[in-house]
Structure formats: structure tokens, C-alpha cells
Amino acid sequence: MSRRITTLAAAAVSAALIASLAGCASNTDSENESAAGETVKIGVVGKSDPQWTAFEKAAEAEGIDVEIIDFGSYEQPNPALAEGELDLNQFQHIVYLAQYNAASGEDLQPIGATAIYPLGLYSQKYDDVDDIPEGETIAVPDDASNQARALLVLQSAGLIELKSGGTIVSDLADVDTEKSKVKVTALEAALIPTALPDVAAAIINNDFVGDAGLSFDDAIAQDDPSDPNALPYVNIFAARADDADNETYLKLVEIFQTDQAVQDGVLEASGDTAVLLQTPAADLQASLDKVLEDTAIEK
């Protein structure tokens, strides 16, 4: 799926870490004490990306044991977090989280930003958007949040026209087929790279660009991650609502945002396309609330 805090003094970090580990289990002293020393499990899609090895080392240097757990598709990390199999996850943007919460009735919350990535259109047949003939087929992700963003990319590239003008909840039904140059089909995001030879072009989520034997420089069209309206597509760390203020988890967000090796890893994994962010959690939550509101109105 496609897509900029404060360093604590060492003594304060130590005190906060002890307090947070002691208080995250429950209100009873015995249960509080049992939380100390536990491993923080974080779900991701793409564990092999270089930032995660650097992140584990940086967390260890701060006395926090982290286990990165890899998932093969975007549908898995949120249920695992909601069910307590994970402590955090980091793979999604705000729109995806909002749509998961709306569909599941869960209340997962963003506790920190990582980066925003441009979402690109790729082709093995054409070197330019203008070369794509009328009537050809383009593949987009089938999950609602990435599909809406993908359709906006195609509209900006002049390949389709959306009846609504394009929103964060646009889907294939919103494509004006009579006014569009190409046809659009939806596939599971992880399968699109293998289907690329069979279509004129495809919107490929950043996690899967390498699977198609491509680099980010190969994109023939993409959106603009620096646009202020792109905030809903900021990638985030997500936690259960009860853990949104957990000081250990917030410290991990800070490590991700400020450790140079981690940040270099993010840029390397994205082909230097990522825009690194340190957006405050309150702003992320406000964006999540707005997306949920807009989604409810659209329905």
C-alpha cells in the first residue's frame, strides 16, 4: 500500500519505561509487575525491509526487546492487533485503519507517523501513460482504501474519469466508463505484481514493487505525497485504544522517527521516495476521526 520527536533525557526514559511496563497489564500490583521485561510484538508487511533490523537494534539499545512479526497481506495485522496477538502494527495509512475500524467495530488508534509514500502506476509494456491505448485494462488493489487512492492516481494521469470527482471512498462503481480511456479491474494487492504482464499497467503498493522486479523509478505516474490533502495516507504505528498512551510504545515511535539508521532504512526500502514524518499523534487521530466521519456520510 502506497506513501516528517522529542528526545527524553536518559533518566526520564528509564523512569518512564519502568512505569509504562509496570502499568500496561492491569490495575493490580501483581499483574503490573508481570509486564516488566516482556517483548513488544510489532506486526509488519515486509519484515525484510532494512529499517526493521536497524529498529530492533535501536530499541535494544534503549532496553526494549522488540519482535517484528511478518504478515503476507494487509488483511492480517489489524485483526491480530485487535485480538491481542500483537502489541503494535506498522503497515497501513490512516484511511486503511479507518475503514478497518468502521467494518470491524474496533477502535485501533494511530500513535505515531512514519512516512508517506507516493503510490505509483507501473507497466511492463508502456514507458509513458500517453502510450497506453484506449480500451486497455489497468489493475488496482481491491482493498477499499488503496483502491480509492489508486483511482485518483489514474484520474490525475488522464486515464479515467470519476463520477464524484474522486474521494477517499471512490470505488470501481465510481468510474465513468464512457468518459474513461481504459478499463479498470481490481485484484488483491499482493497478487498484482504477478498479474502485471497480463494488463497494460497496474497500481502496485510500495510493499510489492520489488516483487514485480521493478524499482520505484519505473513508475510512469504517481500521486504527490507532499500535498496537504495527503495526510490520510500517512503511514502509522497503530495500537489498541487502551495502549494509546503506553510510554514504551511511544518511545518506540520516537526511536523509529529519530534513529538515523532506521530512517535511512525507510528511504532505502522506498527507493528514496518516502517523505519521512513526525506528525503528532493528535493530528493523526483527528485525521482518522475525519475519515470515519466522511466514510459514514458517504454510506
Q: What is the CA radius of gyration of the chain?
A: 20
Say if 163 falls within a structural domain: yes
pLDDT digits (tens, 9 = 90+) for 69-116: 999 999 999 999 999 999 999 999 999 999 999 999 999 999 999 999
Q: Is residue 205 part of a domain?
A: yes
Q: Across the beta sheet with 108-113, what order do the strands follow?
A: 66-70, 40-44, 88-93, 235-240, 108-113
Q: What is the CATH number of the domain that holds 84?
A: 3.40.190.10
For residue 1, tell me if it sits in a domain: no
Q: Which of 163, 194, 223 lies at the terminal end of a domain, its last residue?
A: 223
pLDDT at 10: 33
Most trustworthy range by pLDDT among 161-165, 196-200, 209-213:
196-200
Could you tell me the three cell numbers for 276? 519521512
| Confidence check: pLDDT of 11 > 60 | no
Residues 204 and 141 in one domain: yes
Placement of cell 522517527 in the chain: 257
Return the number of other C-beta atoms located less than 10 Å from residue 277's C-beta. 18
Q: How confident is the model at residue 298 (pLDDT cuts 50, 70, 90)?
A: low
pLDDT value at 13 more than 50? no
In a domain, 175, yes or no: yes
> Which of 108, 56, 54, 63 lies closest to 86 in space, CA to CA?
108
Taking alpha carbons only, the member of 180, 171, 113 closest to residue 146 is: 171
Q: Is residue 161 part of a domain?
A: yes
Is 61 among the domain residues? yes
Tell me whether residue 4 is in a domain: no
Give yes or no: residues 125 and 214 share one domain.
yes
Task: Verify that 124 and 192 share a domain, yes or no.
Answer: yes
Q: Given this model, what pLDDT does residue 299 score?
A: 58
Q: Are residues 59 and 102 in the same domain?
A: yes
149 and 281 housed in the same domain: no
Last residue of a domain, one of 223, 243, 260: 223
Distance of CA 279 to the CA centre of its chain: 14
pLDDT band at residue 28 under the 50/70/90 scheme: very low
Same domain for 128 and 268, yes or no, is: no
The count of structural domains within the chain is: 2
Shared domain for 204 and 267, answered yes or no, is no
**238 and 107 within one domain:** yes
| Interval 147-171: pLDDT, tens | 999 999 999 999 999 998 988 889 9
Domain identity same for 99 and 247:
yes
Q: Is residue 90 part of a domain?
A: yes
Same domain for 166 and 68, yes or no, is: no
Task: Look at residues 208, 223, 238 and tell me which one is the last residue of a structural domain.
Answer: 223
Between helix 94-104 and helix 144-156 the angle, nearest 10°, is 140
Give me the residue label for grid cell 503498493: 205
Co-location of 30 and 105 in the same domain: yes
User: What pLDDT, on a 0 to 100 scale, did the predictor assign at position 219?
Assistant: 96
Pairing of strands 108-113, 235-240: antiparallel
The residue range of the domain holding 245 is 10-117+229-298
- C-alpha 126 chain-centroid distance: 28
Residue burial 68-78, b: 16+ Cβ < 10 Å; e: rest: bbebeebebbb
Angle formed by the axes of helices 247-258 and 260-269, nearest 10°: 70
Q: Indicate the residue type of 31.
A: E
206/1 Cα distance (integer angstroms): 6
